[in-house]
Amino acid sequence: MPLEKLAFDYSQPKTLRIKLSGDWQITAGLPGIEEVASQLCAHTDIQKIYFDVSQMTKWDSGLVSFVLELIKDCQAKNIQVIREGLPQGADKFLTLALKVHGNVVPHQIVGESFVNRVGGGIIRIMQGMCLLIDFLGEITYAFIRFFTGKAYFRWNDFITIMKKCGADALGLVSLISVLVGIILAFVGAIQLELLGAQIYIADIVGIAMVRVMGAVMTGVLMSGRTGASFAAELGIMQTNEEIDALKTLGVNPVEFLVMPRVLALIIMMPLLTIYADFMGILGGLIVSTSMLNINPIEYLNHTQTAVKLNNLWVGLVHSLVFAVIIAVAGCLRGIQCQRSASGVGEATTSAVVTAITCIVIATAIITYVCQVIGV
């Protein structure tokens, strides 16, 4: 019988010694912890539990499962379980199992009050703001060291990051920008045809793309593409303890990993935005010439007349702000990543959501400021 594999010794005061004998493999039929629990209920003065495995012949994960359940039960009763008598391999498995058990996030308390939930949310927001300010300070210090020639990072990595942020994104930016230009042209044509003023589609598409839409669409695309990539790369490095290794070697991770990514995106985002502007205007040109019978030269002349230099500068300001937002969001979430596969996924998702949300907010703020100052 399974219970015959267990024997109990109370020879020492306030101590229970559990003697394990026979085959402790899953296929051999193992006892549960109920028998041990009943012994603890009968002897309420027990403070420590030891194991004696001198008569045990074989074991596998069945032994580990039994001891793990016993440890969990004893923790609730403030009873110390001494694992020194167990086989060495079983003790290692138990150590790993207890680490996983300790990292399990407890379920939210169902009866938590509204005030507690609101207070907890505010505290988390404040903590996040403090972490963001601290991270921005480290990036600023890294850039100061860069401009003074003291920063250390690998230029080969910087060039590779620039290629990923720029040339590798041209295809996606081209497709989306042309489609956005086509959509804007169609939307404008529906109303302008009623007035016989189809030529002003060039004004609508040109100003919208150069001033806002080119930068916004590029920012959204780069958030899902580059921002997620930054978060995943740094998250994997955090999981593999590579960032800890850099700190051990005396290398600043922000200076070595974050600053090249921020700098590369700041350089490439304005160039991608200008390219997106041209592709959007091309999309409007395609619709106007193929469906509305507008002369291409006349369309381009109207675009050149309507789009002022101020519109281009506003679009470039948008792109620079978006570059900082995307890079900081991706790198921050990657640095904060929990050391697990699910943690990397959560960091990547959070980076994209944070970047897109901040892009929309920044667009509203910049648009309002430009309206106030009359740009």
- Examine the fold and report which residue of 81, 102, 123 is the final residue of a domain before the chain moves on: 102
Report the pLDDT value the prediction gives residue 102, as an integer from 0 to 100.
Answer: 52
For β-strands 80-81 and 6-9, DSSP reports them as: unpaired
142-to-167, 256, 258, 259 alpha-carbon distances in Å: 26, 9, 9, 7
- The CA distance from 98 to 91, in Å, is 10
CA-wise closest residue to 322 among 172, 221, 180: 221
Same domain? For 207 and 278 the reply is yes
The answer as to whether 117 is a domain residue is no
Q: Which two tokens stand for residue 207?
A: 């100003």
The answer as to whether 122 is a domain residue is no
- The CA distance from 361 to 260, in Å, is 25
Burial call 341-363: b when 16+ CB within 10 Å, e when fewer? eeebebbbebbbebbbebbeebb
The answer as to whether 245 is a domain residue is yes
Q: Which two tokens stand for residue 289?
A: 């010439």
Same domain? For 67 and 151 the reply is no
Structural domain range at position 216: 135-373
Report the pLDDT value the prediction gives residue 4, as an integer from 0 to 100.
Answer: 67
Per run of 10 residues, the mean pLDDT along the chain (length 375 residues) is 68 83 79 80 82 83 82 81 80 74 46 76 86 88 88 87 89 92 87 77 89 92 91 89 86 89 93 94 89 85 88 92 93 87 88 93 92 85
Strands of 15-24's sheet, edge to edge? 6-9, 15-24, 48-59, 80-81
Sign of the CA dihedral with 194 first, then 195, 196, and 201 last? negative
The answer as to whether 110 is a domain residue is no
Amino acid identity of residue 337, one-letter, is C
- The CA distance from 359 to 219, in Å, is 7
- Examine the fold and report which residue of 102, 127, 146 is the final residue of a domain before the chain moves on: 102
Report the pLDDT value the prediction gives residue 178, as an integer from 0 to 100.
Answer: 93
Amino acid identity of residue 217, one-letter, is M
Domain count of the fold of the chain: 2
Same domain? For 154 and 202 the reply is yes
Same domain? For 170 and 286 the reply is yes
Report the pLDDT value the prediction gives residue 1, as an integer from 0 to 100.
Answer: 43
CA-wise closest residue to 348 among 219, 242, 230: 230
Same domain? For 96 and 146 the reply is no
Same domain? For 88 and 202 the reply is no
Same domain? For 239 and 305 the reply is yes
Q: Which two tokens stand for residue 316?
A: 């470039």
Same domain? For 88 and 186 the reply is no
Same domain? For 238 and 332 the reply is yes
- Examine the fold and report which residue of 77, 102, 127 is the final residue of a domain before the chain moves on: 102
Same domain? For 139 and 239 the reply is yes
Same domain? For 211 and 318 the reply is yes
The answer as to whether 283 is a domain residue is yes
Amino acid identity of residue 61, one-letter, is S
Same domain? For 191 and 334 the reply is yes
